[in-house]
Each structure stands twice: as C-alpha cells, then as structure tokens.
Amino acid sequence: MIDLSVQLGRLHLRNPILVASGTAGYGRELADYVDMALLGGFIPKTVTRHPRPGNPPPRTVETACGLLNAIGLDNDGWDYFWQHHWPHLQTLPTAVILNIAGKSEDEFVELAADVARRGVGLAALELNLSCPNVAGGLDFATDAERTRRIVRRCREVCPNLPLIAKLTPNVTDITVIAAAAAEGGADAVSAVNTYLGMAIDWRQRRPRLGNVTGGLSGPAIKPLALRAVWAIARRRIIPVIGVGGIATMDDVMEFLVAGASAVQIGTANFYDPSVACRLIQDLPAAIAQLGTSRVRDVIGTLQTPE
C-alpha cells in the first residue's frame, strides 16, 4: 500500500495531483471525464469581485507543443459564484481550493475576508497573484513587497484556511517572490502561472490573439516550470505546488523529485480531460519504482553534482 498523502504547511491532501484553476471550469464541465473522488484537489476558475466579460476573441492560439491564452478572467463575479457554483462545489468529494483575484490589494483582502465567512468546507484559498492577461495588470507577484503585503493581509482576515500564492514566472528571480509569500504567511506557492508570449499572423500583420499578448502553457513550458520549482524547493523556502505543462507520469515524478509537494494538471485537461485521474491511478506504481511506499519520501530527492 502506497501512502499518497502530502502535507503543505497546514494543507493536507490525500494525494498530490490537483486540477489547476482555469482549466476545469467550476466542476460541472469535467464531470463526465473526472472522478472527483480520486482527485487530490480541485481548483475552480478564478473568481473576481465583479463580473468580468473577459478578453475579446480569439482568446487562444496553439503554438509548438503549447497553448497561448488570453482569456482575461472571464467570470460572472463574486455573488454569482456563491449562489450558483459554490453549492455544487461543496458537494464534490475532493479538496476544493478556491482561487481568487483582486484588482487591488484591498480587494484581495475584502474577498479573503468574505471567504473566511462563507467558505465553510473549503480546503484552502489560492491567491491568483499572477494573471498576465488583464489590462492594468493583476500580476502582483512581480513585486516581492506587494506579494508579501497581500499574503499577510489575506492571512490576517482569513486565518483558518491554508493559503497558497500562485506565482508568475515572468520575473527575474522567482525565489525572491516565493520568499516574500512565505514571509507573508503563505502555506505554499503554486509555481508557475503562464509565461508571457505572443503569436503573429505576419501575412495580415496582426496578432493572433484579441488581447495581442497572452500566457503560454502546455508541454512547451514544462522544463521552464520544472526549473522554477526546483529553484524554490532546493532553498526550502516554502512548500511548492508544481504547475506548468504536466501531462504524463514522467512529468509528475520529475516535479516531485525536483521538490514539488504536489502538482496541478492544467492545459492537459483540455486535450485529455480524464488525464488527472489516470495519473493518480498510475502514481503508486511509479512511487514503488523508487523503492519507497510514500510519496513524501520522493519529494525533493533530486541528486545534483556537488
């Protein structure tokens, strides 16, 4: 019997495989493909204070082994979420981690305080500090001091829920931001959100995305995300949830060995909607291959030259 459970600060998960925010809707969309009773956790699409129509289409374009997106946090807002999505999410037999984005520090704090009141049964709160596709910029996690302040203030108003900061890779040194999140009181960081990129139709001399630029995800960014996770994990700054192009058992194991305590499956849900459950079913055999019976014994065991 392989013990798949992992601990990230105050967050306990029965297994380390989660479904990433923005890649599985609000739980109903993947119902035919994903057995929620197997998932380590489910993270619904980012919720904001006010409804947001999102960016003009085209919102996605495929690039080499990757997906460039600029959805723009399309969602029906806070009140709608609690009325229409939360009652369903509450029934899911898995750890539900709410993902929120504020337009300002104060709005993050306002939302986090409301989560503390209404989010009975939530497993954790993930702060989306890193959406690259919103005019005016919601990528707070490009600045260590803002990251620290937002995390600290959210922790103050929502003290009983494990807190996860989702970080952008579009920075010079992600370990500095991860350290700021740790100092602010986060239990873990999710690393990484998408890499800024663009695609151009040169014949028309036009960008291929309605938003001009977007965020790159999928297998194309996996080595980049893996490096970012390892950079944070090797310094033992804070528990890391690895995310970025994870689609196969090898990908999962690489991230665990690099030091991720859990992983999120993102873009792969789009082209292989049942992938997360398959990976969970295959995980024990992969762990056993390393001669151990606990996932925890695999995390951060990368051996590098002296």
Partner 1 sequence: MPHLRHVRIVSQEKLAERTYRLRLICPEIARVILPGQFLMLRLAGTNDPLLGRPFALYDTWGDDSSSPLGVDIVYLVVGSMTSRLCTVPAGSVVEVWGPLGRPLPAFSELEQVVLVAGGIGQTPFVAYTHWLLGSRGYGGQAARPQARRVLLYYGVRTAARLAGLTDFQTAGAQLYLASDDGSVGWHGSILDRLQAEQPAGPLIGCGPEPMLKALARLARQWQRPCWVSLETPMACGIGACFSCVTRIGTAHNWDYRRVCVDGPTFEAALWHDAFSEQGSDAPLGSTGA
Site residues for partner 1 per CB under 8 A: 22-25, 28-30, 32-33, 45, 50-54, 56-62, 64-67, 69, 71-74, 103, 134-136, 218-219, 247, 267, 269-274
Dihedral sign (CA 117, 264, 191, 170): negative
Number of other CB atoms surrounding residue 148 within 10 Å: 20
Of 3 and 29, nearer to partner 1 (C-beta) is 29
Closest CA to 96 of 44, 50, 25: 44
Instruction: Give the active site residue among 65, 131, 154, 277.
Output: 131
Residue 68 CB, shortest distance to partner 1, in Å, is 10
In the complex, the smallest distance separating the C-beta of residue 268 from partner 1, rounded to whole angstroms, is 9
CB of 163 to partner 1, least distance (A): 25
In the bound state with partner 1, the residue whose beta carbon lies nearer, of 64 and 120, is 64
Shortest distance, position 9 Cβ to partner 1, whole Å: 28
* Residue 303, C-beta contacts closer than 8 angstroms, at least 6 positions apart: none
Among residues 271 and 301, whose Cβ is nearest to partner 1?
Answer: 271
Q: Classify strands 97-101 and 124-128 as parallel, antiparallel or unpaired.
A: parallel
Q: What distance in Å separates the CA atoms of residue 100 and residue 8, rounded to the nearest whole number?
A: 19
Nearer CB in complex with partner 1: 60/261 = 60
Residue 44 per-residue DSSP state: P
Angstrom distance (rounded) from CA 296 to CA 61: 37
157 by DSSP, 3-state: which?
Answer: helix
Please name every residue paired with 100 in a beta bridge, in sequence order, or none if there are none. Answer: 47, 127
Active site residue 131: yes
Helix (H) or strand (E) holding 30: none
Helix (DSSP H) and strand (DSSP E) numbers for the chain: 9, 17
Q: How far is the CB of 237 from partner 1 (least distance, A)?
A: 31
**Under 8 Å between Cβ of 59 and 72:** yes
Minimum CB separation of residue 45 from partner 1 in Å reads 7
First to last CA, the chain: 35
Closer to partner 1 by Cβ: residue 139 or 187: 139
Half-sphere exposure of 194 (CA within 13 A, CB side): 27
Based on its alpha-carbon atoms, the radius of gyration of the chain, rounded to whole angstroms, reads 18
Element (H, E) at 181: helix 174-184
Catalytic residues: 131
